[in-house]
Chain A
Amino acid sequence: MTLLSVKNLSVSIHEQPIIKNVSFNLGAGEILALTGESGSGKSISALALMGLLPHGSKKEGIINFEGKDLNKISESNFCKLRGKKISMVFQEPMTALNPVQSIGKQISETLIQHKACAPNELKDRVRKAMDRVGLNGIDPSRFPHQLSGGQRQRVVIAMAICLEPSILIADEPTTALDVTTQSKILKLIQEFAEKDGISIILITHDLAIVANISNYLLLMKEGILVDQGRPKKVFRDLSHPYTKKLFAASSEQFSFKATNTSKEKLLEVRSVSVNYMSHERGIFSKGKSVEAVSNVSLNIRKGERLGLVGESGCGKSTLTRTILGLQSASSGHIKFDGQEVSKYANSFKKNIQVVFQDPYGSFNPRQKIGRLITEPFFTLGRKAPSEIEQRIIARKMLKEVGLSSESIEKYIHEFSGGQRQRIAIARALVIKPKLIIFDEAVSALDVSIRTQILKLISNLTERYGLSYLFISHDLTVIENITENCLVMKNGKIVERGQTKHILRDPKNEYTLSLINAAPKFPKFLHA
């Protein structure tokens, strides 16, 4: 039975067309996956269904729901549908809740708004909704900042399902979460469809999730629906070239040449612990100390490519900062090329460079690319090459990372996310470092671009004989790009060894849970 039928939906924002002639049907209890890369119009489609498009947007077409065209009903009538018949869960659980209201109050708001129950039943209904989403034992009087990301997302889901809507739209509900939390949330969403008969529109960029849990998929590209069908059939046939390209990028295993790893140690981390002072303290008493990194030892040999896996909050970033000398270790030693980290001279810093996760936030928007790339030369002081030489090197580096040498005169906003990450790599390479730390360097990128960047990293390091430490929460990335890896949990290294062995035959329970939780394409698709 068709519950929602969308015909020729087009949306433009400030006269700029965003989605064009999208049509689809949603059946009762169905999980419809809406997928595509960033900027393809997935989220705008969802907001159009909710009637919550941003200011200055215009929509055309028909959205038929329970015999009414949602494009024609009044705003006050739409308010009666939202939260009751059609509800929505958003991507960013950290900001989706009002920080100054308790979670119980925010959940009860949906019930009050739609006059769903008598005031004296409110408490029970909130408790029931919270239990339903797995928040058993959590006090409704708590505030959002006292919960983890996964718990907050459950609160958002509780608000969305407490009135048992017909349709639940989930916009990248797990993208900001750790893999283990992700698999639990996805299971919950699947349950709503199977047990409660709620129809789900699941927006995700992750094709493995699509293949695993959806009944039907819509693939969008630049606002147009390019492919659709049952996921099994779509992924087997791969009839559309774009589907083929995305699928290839998501499931690609590229092998990289083993390089000569010498015995010589480049970086030596010996039983390093890093403590933080917790903020919870009295006026005169000292705070409790929290161990972010606990007794960690690791070596990186010359030419070695090491991976570091762990979920958010496991201490990866603190460890990186300590290696870079941006933070001092509470105990233990770090030696780089035989020299204590705490005694890094400025000119020595050039030997380690970093590429960060966020390609948007890690550049000064008011400087030209030429200036941005040659920034590391400042650490050299007087030993830096002349400005003309620097520009020649910058141009060469841009070509190396696959950009035109004319880019040197442009500003960072003129580039896409993938191009920005190329620029970040050029910036790291320009000073010929011995070690590069990639801190979640591809996590913010779309799959097809991610593969390009990983290939680039692999090629360049081979050519320059570089060593790197690749930090990621994504096991497939680590698998593709490192020989050895470490698994980190709560500040400790819980498993280490060859990447292939660890992924195939993990000895540690935590590693196993990470591997199991990561979305993978069902077996039949690989055949």
Chain B
Amino acid sequence: MINFFFRRLFTFVLSLALASFVIFSLVEIAPGDPASFMLGINAQADTIAALRSELGLDQPKISRYLAWISGMLTGDFGVSYTYRTNVSEMVGDRLWVSLPLAIYALFLSTVIALPTGIYAAAKRGKAGDFTVISATQIGIAIPNFWFAIILVGIFSIKLQWFSAGGFSGWQNGILDGITSLTLPAIALALPQAAILSRIVRSALIETLGEDYIRTARAKGLSSWQTIWAHALRNALIPVLTIIGLQFSFLLAGAIIIEQVFYLPGLGRLVFQAITQRDLIVVESVVMLLVFAVILVNFIVDIAYMLVDPRLRQDGI
């Protein structure tokens, strides 16, 4: 079990190292020189060269890569080309919006998906199942920004329960922060919940066909008892996988929702940085997102191990 943990940890570190290399190389290949972009089309060649050397862009690639990596390890993400502020501060501010939003949305998605998925699996082929399937079909088909617009229409404009956009920050209290993230979280969560609900349903139906379910029934357990005691935990592995993937998506992929609700999140930061050739910000944010994805996968791997004793044995 400890072996398993360390081997996963090793893969975790290795993936990070590889990812950093790939990100750095891709940004290097991308066209557009930050210095000439910042100075505009009419800039003199020597001014550009001066700025390049100031930004450190004239250094060899290897040393720039190493400087970037070692900086990140000590918490120094460099200075933004455009804003001339610390990247770590910029990213930190945005993270306080994006991370709670992602967790909030994931929580909602799981809370909706588990009961509906379980209910549909237990009632498979019957009216309840059909209702859930139809609802999830709609949830998957409709894009989340459209949900967002509908939610704003109903809850902000009609009922005036929530503000239509913006983020008031955490300084006015947690409740205030959560309230301003509620509509975006719901808009993000609904399509994810629809997908997850289907995964829960199909994983559970598959598990319910297993022999040990029949054994449990032969012991005298009712069909609901069988689901709780035996099927659910076995069906959890595919569900955990999807939850892990969804979290990564919610963290990085919320850009459209951030636009709709005018939230200062990571997605918008990357978008702006790309259009302004602020490569150091792009690199840092992408690296951060990759870190989050790999970390979540690592946690999911560890969760597998807790769920399934077969994986606790070393070697699998």
Contact = CB atoms under 8 A, between A and B. Distances in A.
Contact of A283 (B7, B218, B221, B310): B7
B314 A280 contact: yes
B91 to A, nearest CB: 33
B218 A50 contact: yes
Contacts of B229: 109
A113 B221 contact: yes
A84 B220 contact: yes
Contact of A99 (B217, B225, B310, B314): B310
B212 A97 contact: yes
* Size class of the B contact interface (CB-based, 8 Å): 20 to 34
Nearest to B125: A55
Contacts of B315: 278-281, 287
Interface string A27-50: 000000000000000000000001
Contact of B220 (A79, A98, A156, A280): A79
A143 interface: yes
A114 B220 contact: yes
Contacts, number: 92
Determine chain B's interface SS by DSSP, over half rule: helix
Contacts of B230: 98, 101
Given A52-B218, A83-B219, A282 B308 contact: no
Interface string B174-215: 000000000000000000000000000000000000111011
Nearest to B310: A145
A283 B7 CA distance: 6
Nearest to A282: B3
B212 A98 contact: yes
A61 to B, nearest CB: 21
B75 interface: no
A96 B212 contact: yes
Interface in B18-41: none
A278 B229 CA distance: 33
Interface in B301-316: 307-310, 313-316
B216 interface: yes
A59 B4 CA distance: 50
B98 to A, nearest CB: 34
B88 interface: no
A218 interface: no
B204 to A, nearest CB: 14
B219 A96 contact: no
Nearest to A102: B309
Contact of A90 (B214, B308, B310, B316): B214
A52 B220 CA distance: 11
Contacts of B61: none
A100 B219 contact: no
A143 B214 contact: no
A498 interface: no
A79 B7 contact: no
Query: Of residues A81, A84, A109, A281, which shows the largest number of chain B Cβ atoms within 10 Å of its Cβ?
Result: A109
A95 B234 contact: no
Given A52-B214, A96-B211, A283 B220 contact: no
A43 to B, nearest CB: 11
A16 B295 CA distance: 53
A116 to B, nearest CB: 11
Contact of B216 (A109, A281, A283): A109
Contacts of B214: 52, 90, 96
Contacts of B74: none
B64 interface: no
Interface in B261-316: 307-310, 313-316
B200 to A, nearest CB: 17
A287 B3 CA distance: 13
B222 interface: yes
Interface string A60-90: 0000000000000001100111111001101
Interface string B91-122: 00000000000000000000000000000000
Nearest to A55: B125
Interface string B223-249: 001000110011000000000000000
B314 A279 contact: yes
B83 interface: no
Nearest to B6: A283
Query: Of residues A50, A80, A82, which shows the largest number of chain B Cβ atoms within 10 Å of its Cβ?
Result: A82
A88 B125 contact: no
A92 interface: yes
Contacts of B316: 279
A34 to B, nearest CB: 17
Interface in B28-85: none
Contacts of B210: 95
A280 B314 CA distance: 6
**What 7 A-B pairs are tightest by C-beta distance, nearest first?**
A279-B315, A83-B220, A83-B219, A95-B211, A82-B220, A88-B218, A98-B212
9 contacts: A82-B217, A83-B219, A95-B210, A100-B307, A100-B309, A279-B314, A281-B314, A282-B3, A283-B7
Given A95-B210, A113-B225, A280-B315, 9 more contacts: A82-B219, A83-B219, A87-B218, A88-B218, A95-B211, A99-B310, A100-B307, A143-B310, A145-B310
Interface of B: 3, 6-7, 10, 125, 210-212, 214-222, 225, 229-230, 233-234, 307-310, 313-316
